[in-house]
Amino acid sequence: MHSPHHPRRRQVLAAAAMATVWPLARAQAQTTSRPLGAVGVFALLGDTFQLSQPADVTDTRLQRTSRDTVDLKGLGFDQAALRAANEALNKLQPRAQVHMYRATTPLTLAEQRAIADGARRAELPAWIVAAITAKQLSHVLLVTGGRGDASFAVLGGHAVGRGTVEGIGFYLDKTTEIKNLETGQGSVGFLGPYVMIRLQLMDVESGEVVAQQDVRASRIAAGRRDEDATNVWNALSPTEKVDTLREMIHRNMERVLPQLLAAR
């Protein structure tokens, strides 16, 4: 049970990768989780996607992936994440007050990982701590870019892909022979939209990450027309690319959030 007194604040050392970090209070370890009161959902994904390709290597034991970051306005990744979190919390924790936030400035994947790592040490950027204080939040739900294997399911329970992928984006394979089951169109290579997200639920009073879940989802898009056979980037139109990633964020956060809330 929590002490009725305000817990003593612990001095922490700011991580070098984070320009402004503020210490949270840390109380004694809890035996039971607190009810969700005011929950701040902080979606830090931004408007960027990754374009990953298996790197050419002479040693087949190496699993390398080259990655480029593409910045575009209005991708709506944070909105998709916030909408999924709001719907899940309203359904599963109807008494909780939900407050939704996006990053005040764009964050690279490295900066998102630094925030996620800092949360485990009861460290958060000052702007998040200011929101906690202003709204008297009881819990914080952090949504940051994650990392996972480049694994894309095909028929027969097998998977293709090499190396790792990060954040949200597309894996561009130019060598695997594949067939579109809807059209029968064969192509050399495939376009693999993927979503790698880390969800962390923090108890503000204790400063503890009380639950964490990783969202890892991927699909395969194969060529649908003759002209796609040698340019699988066109397997999805520009609008379909963005819509697919938004839908994957929403659907898979919706899938994972009940597990996160049950684990706290």
| Residue positions counted in the chain | 264
In this prediction, residue 62 carries a pLDDT of: 41
Element (DSSP H or E) covering residue 239: helix 238-263
> Does the predicted TM-score (pTM) go above 0.85?
no
In this prediction, residue 87 carries a pLDDT of: 97
| Strand locations in 122-166 (E) | 123-125, 139-145, 147-149, 152-153, 159-160, 164-166
pLDDT digits (tens), the chain, 264 positions: 333 333 333 322 233 234 444 555 554 444 456 789 999 999 999 999 999 998 764 444 444 567 678 877 889 999 999 999 999 999 999 999 999 999 988 999 999 999 999 999 999 999 999 999 999 999 999 999 999 999 999 887 889 998 999 999 999 998 888 877 777 777 788 999 999 999 999 999 999 999 999 999 999 988 766 655 567 888 899 999 999 999 999 999 999 999 999 988
In this prediction, residue 25 carries a pLDDT of: 52
Residue 200 CA: distances (Å) to CA of 24, 72, 108, 116, 124: 15, 26, 18, 8, 12
Q: What is the dihedral of CA 76, 77, 78, 82, to 10 degrees?
A: 100
In this prediction, residue 50 carries a pLDDT of: 95
Structural domain spans, the chain: 36-263
pLDDT, the chain, mean: 83
Q: How far apart are CA 101 and CA 1, in angstroms?
A: 30
Buried b (16+ CB within 10 A) or exposed e, 37-57: ebbbbbbbbbebbbebbbeee
In this prediction, residue 174 carries a pLDDT of: 87
In this prediction, residue 133 carries a pLDDT of: 96
In this prediction, residue 23 carries a pLDDT of: 56
In this prediction, residue 224 carries a pLDDT of: 67
In this prediction, residue 184 carries a pLDDT of: 73
In this prediction, residue 10 carries a pLDDT of: 32
Question: Rounded to 5 degrees, what are φ and ψ at 235?
Answer: -60, -25
pLDDT in tens, 113-139: 999 999 999 999 999 999 999 999 999
Rounded to a whole number of angstroms, the CA Rg of the chain reads: 21
In this prediction, residue 231 carries a pLDDT of: 79
